[in-house]
Amino acid sequence: MAPFDLIIFGGTGDLALRKLLPALFHRYVDGQIVAGTRLYGLARDSQDDGAYRARVREALQKSLADDPRAPTALEPFLDLLHYRRIDLNADAGWAELATELTDPQRVDSERVRVFYLAVGPDLFGSVGARLQAHGLTGETTRVVVEKPIGHDGASAAAINDALGHVFAESQIYRIDHYLGKETVQNLTALRFGNALFEPLWKAEHIDHVQITVAETVGLERRASYYDKSGALRDMVQNHLLQLLCLVAMEPPSSLAADAIRDEKLKVLRALRPIENGATSQLTVRGQYRAGAVEGRPVPGYLDELGRDDSRTETFVALKAEVRNWRWAGVPFYLRTGKRLAERMSEIVVTFRQVPHSIFGELAEPIAPNQLVIRLQPDEGVKLWLMNKVPGPGGLRLRRVPMDLSFAETFGGRQPEAYERLLMDVVRGNAMLFMRRDEVEAAWDWIDPIRNAWQASSDAPKPYTAGSWGPSAAVALIERDGRTWHEDA
């Protein structure tokens, strides 16, 4: 790959230090980032390259153990890194930056230039305008933005408008880091690289789908963001709906970015709206109370927040439905929460029961087949099948998994989502990024739920930290004669 420039606005922030720079480092270790590439961290503090590199060196220490080649690559990688002071709301620093980035002595006009806006969305407009004013928005420029893209449909549209004034849609890369996870990409491989599943992938053969993203962490250091957001906006609007799209979409004709995005968009638009009357039936929101997670006592959400009047949800469970020919009548149960019993994300596709049992009375009844796609941890795929228990006695069947563990099968380290995503931006491959209309369609479905919650006098249901969420979430699925999947 040719040398490129990657400029991170918010270069001293958490995202840059914890995710972006370690991801770039691993790509460097793998030889994908070549000499001549320039990586810039931009922020308001005054410090020189040396001080910035020292800070990044410290942030990368953890990454060194991941790969035996990493320790020797550290210093040469840091040499690619520069720090520039810039004020996002004032003119100082911009002209110098523009000169440096466009200097014909050092870069040719074809060089790919990526601006990563790791700053609040309220700044996207002014950063874009300044980049434009300094001639930095030409064809070879790409811009990356992170969630939250708005807090509702209207604010998302305003952010997209602000970006759209300056950049063509094809230059804008909206990250949903879940799409960069290996196991999420494997979902596409599994569905469309095998002839086995697709003929069964429909209401006729599938009873229901569950998507769970459970976390053990609490507020971390993000109280001011999280309390305004809550789990519906923070996780469901983006990560969980994207997973749902990948499960439910029609086969795209190719991996071309728009071929996939068109299909995902159709799914989002086919979601049955959950409006006023239905919200209390189809959604559950919860907030954690003090408890113990992984054997460690933890405070409740309100204590962590230091306020007692917040109604922000830290847990959501809901039942969605995709209104189209393929999925009519198949519920998609989604749940996500903080401070749950374990960190575990998975998609479970439960097939229908066999139409008739030839086995008569069985000690263990025939259980429906389940395909479990484990996103994290222990990435892998399990297909639960009924098998005969060996032995000469009476016929006994038992449910057992065919188990594919990524770690055992492929070995090596699993690259982090950002490694794939950042290099895709440099390559100009937008397949794993969200298009404007997708983001807005997701908000269109989320907004009525949020509004109904806000209008309701009910508070989120309490749940004990370290549990699987409020009992109402169990009731949501059990009402339909089903249960949340447990890995056994």
Q: Measured between alpha carbons, how far is 260 from 262 in angstroms, rounded to an integer? A: 5
446 contacts 334 by C-beta, under 8 angstroms: no
Provide, rounded to whole angstroms, the least separation between the CB of residue 55 and ligand BG6.
23
114 contacts 145 by C-beta, under 8 angstroms: no
Q: Measured between alpha carbons, how far is 32 from 129 in angstroms, rounded to an integer? A: 31
Q: Measured between alpha carbons, how far is 330 from 477 in angstroms, rounded to an integer? A: 13
88 labeled binding residue: yes
Nearer Cβ to ligand BG6 (287/369) = 287
Provide, rounded to whole angstroms, the least separation between the CB of residue 233 and ligand BG6.
9
Give the active site residue among 151, 239, 356, 485. 239
- The CB-side HSE value for 304 (13 A sphere, CA atoms) comes to 25
Is residue 165 among the annotated active site residues? no
- Residue number of the CB closest to ligand BG6 reads 234
Site size toward ligand BG6, by CB under 6 A: 3
Provide, rounded to whole angstroms, the least separation between the CB of residue 234 and ligand BG6.
5
Pattern 454-483, binding to ligand BG6, x per CB under 6 A?
Answer: ------------------------------
Provide, rounded to whole angstroms, the least separation between the CB of residue 180 and ligand BG6.
9
State yes or no: residue 419 binds ligand BG6 (CB under 6 A). Answer: no
Report CA 188 to chain centroid distance, whole Å: 15
Nearer Cβ to ligand BG6 (229/283) = 229
Nearer Cβ to ligand BG6 (182/234) = 234
Question: In the numeric block, which tokens belong to residue 230?
Answer: 């809550």
Which residue in the block uniquely carries the two structure tokens 């992938």? 201
State yes or no: residue 215 binds ligand BG6 (CB under 6 A). Answer: yes
User: Which residue in 460, 443, 462, 18 sits closest to 220, CA to CA?
Assistant: 18
Nearer Cβ to ligand BG6 (222/272) = 222
Q: Measured between alpha carbons, how far is 203 from 208 in angstroms, rounded to an integer? A: 8
62 labeled binding residue: no
Nearer Cβ to ligand BG6 (171/336) = 336
Provide, rounded to whole angstroms, the least separation between the CB of residue 411 and ligand BG6.
22
Report CA 366 to chain centroid distance, whole Å: 35
**φ, ψ at 363 (rounded to 5°):** -60, -45
Provide, rounded to whole angstroms, the least separation between the CB of residue 178 and ligand BG6.
7
Provide, rounded to whole angstroms, the least separation between the CB of residue 340 and ligand BG6.
12
234 labeled binding residue: yes
Provide, rounded to whole angstroms, the least separation between the CB of residue 273 and ligand BG6.
24
Q: Measured between alpha carbons, how far is 372 from 346 in angstroms, rounded to an integer? A: 7
Q: Measured between alpha carbons, how far is 402 from 190 in angstroms, rounded to an integer? A: 14
User: Which residue in 74, 36, 69 sits closest to 54, CA to CA?
Assistant: 74
Strand pairing category for 380-388 and 370-376:
antiparallel
What are the Cα distances from residue 187, in Å, to 236, 255, 332, 406, 417?
18, 13, 16, 13, 15
Question: In the numeric block, which tokens belong to residue 299?
Answer: 């405070």
What are the Cα distances from residue 260, in Å, to 157, 322, 430?
22, 17, 10
Q: Which of 5, 182, 207, 234 binds ligand BG6 (CB under 6 A)?
A: 234
Nearer Cβ to ligand BG6 (234/313) = 234
Q: Output the DSSP codes for 352-389.
A: PPPS--SS-S-SSPPPPPEEEEEEESS-EEEEEEEEEP
Nearer Cβ to ligand BG6 (311/396) = 311
Classified as helix, coil or strand, 285 is strand
321 labeled binding residue: no
308 contacts 302 by C-beta, under 8 angstroms: yes
**φ, ψ at 152 (rounded to 5°):** -165, 180
Q: Measured between alpha carbons, how far is 179 from 417 in angstroms, rounded to an integer? A: 7
Neighbours of 294 (CB within 10 A): 10
Nearer Cβ to ligand BG6 (234/346) = 234
What are the residue numbers of the active site?
A: 239
User: Which residue numbers belong to the known binding site?
Assistant: 44, 87-88, 147, 177, 181, 215, 234, 338
User: Which residue numbers belong to the known binding site for NADP(+)?
Assistant: 44, 87-88, 147
Binding interface with ligand BG6 (CB under 6 A): 215, 217, 234
User: Which residue numbers belong to the known binding site for substrate?
Assistant: 177, 181, 215, 234, 338
